């Protein structure tokens, strides 16, 4: 019997959504099981997590499907990159070859109207049984939360950004 996979959502305005998703991925990969991570919206700049994944030698498959351009200036490109990522996500989920599929910052695609919440729900509900999914991003909608099994809100209590402390290599990227 296949153990049932679950849908995990890391949402909220505090820090830790993406890093928790990578922690989950590390845990799965450590057991020798396959992981696919798709990062939406974000650009192609080098991140510590991207470098670390390379060091693991293919145990975690990482796809960065963002443009790195600003939303206002390159709206068409942002949408195109997001749709390419979403197509890939559907393929990877339905393949059933991964124990875990991470859809990092997916909520923005729904919140910006690039894809519909119903479409995401459909892909999640028709996925192969054993696949765990992690979705991250602020403001996960009620419809998404309804089909999830585990939802955690990272709530900002303090953020160093408010004191003017800039993003730092190894901490924010
Ligand atoms: P992390 O990637 O560190 O786990 P996250 O995925 O929860 O964070 P995102 O909303 O994806 O957070 O934001 C990406 C980065 O922007 C984070 O590293 C975070 O520290 C930073 N950040 C989060 N909230 C704020 C804020 N209010 N102002 C400025 N930067 C922020
Ligand atoms: Mg994030």
Residue of 4, 27, 75, 87 marked active site: 27
> What tokens appear for 109 in the block?
């695609």
Q: Spell out which residues line ligand 1, taking CB within 6 angstroms.
A: 15-19, 136, 138, 154, 159, 161, 172
- How many Å apart are CA 52 and CA 59, to the nearest integer? 11
The mean per-residue pLDDT over the stretch 55-81 comes to 83
**94-123 per-position pLDDT tens digit:** 999 999 999 999 999 999 999 999 999 999
Sheet harboring 35-41: ordered strands across? 60-66, 35-41, 100-104, 132-136, 7-11, 150-153
> What tokens appear for 157 in the block?
């209590």
pLDDT-derived band of residue 67, with 50, 70 and 90 as boundaries?
confident
Q: In this prediction, what percent of the chain has a pLDDT beyond 70?
A: 97
| Cβ-count burial 36-70 (b if 16+ within 10 Å, e if not) | bbbbbbbeeeebebbeebeeeeebbbbebbbbeee
The answer, yes or no, to whether residue 73 has pLDDT greater than 60, is no
> 15 C-alpha vs ligand 1 centroid, how far in Å?
5
Higher pLDDT: 72 or 172? It is 172
The mean per-residue pLDDT over the stretch 129-150 comes to 98
Known catalytic residue: 69?
yes
pLDDT value of position 20: 98
Known catalytic residue: 3?
no
Q: What's the mean pLDDT when you consider all of the chain?
A: 94
**144-172 per-position pLDDT tens digit:** 999 999 999 999 999 999 999 999 999 99
Show the domains of the chain with their CATH numbers.
7-163 (3.40.50.300)
Which residues have their alpha-adjacent CB atom under 5 A from ion ligand 2?
Answer: 17-18
Known catalytic residue: 45?
no
Known catalytic residue: 27?
yes
> 109 C-alpha vs ligand 2 centroid, how far in Å?
13
The answer, yes or no, to whether residue 72 has pLDDT greater than 70, is no
> 18 C-alpha vs ligand 2 centroid, how far in Å?
4
Q: Which residue has tokens 């393949």?
A: 95
- Polymer length of the chain: 173
């Amino acid at each position: 019997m296949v153990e049932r996979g679950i849908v995990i959502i890391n949402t909220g305005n505090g820090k830790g959504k993406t890093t928790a998703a990578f922690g989950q991925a590390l845990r799965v990969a450590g057991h020798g099981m396959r992981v696919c991570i798709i990062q939406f919206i974000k650009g192609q700049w080098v991140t510590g997590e991207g470098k670390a994944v390379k060091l693991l030698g293919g145990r975690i498959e990482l796809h960065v499907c963002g443009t790195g351009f600003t939303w206002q200036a390159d709206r068409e490109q942002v949408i195109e990159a997001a749709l390419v990522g979403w197509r890939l996500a559907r393929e990877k989920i339905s393949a059933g070859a991964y124990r875990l599929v991470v859809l990092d910052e997916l909520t923005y695609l729904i919140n910006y109207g690039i894809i519909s919440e119903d479409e995401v729900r459909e892909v999640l509900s028709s996925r192969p049984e054993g696949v765990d999914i992690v979705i991250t991003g602020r403001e996960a909608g009620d419809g998404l939360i309804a089909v999830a099994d585990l939802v955690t809100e990272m709530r900002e209590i303090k953020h160093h950004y408010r004191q003017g402390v800039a993003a730092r290599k190894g901490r924010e990227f």
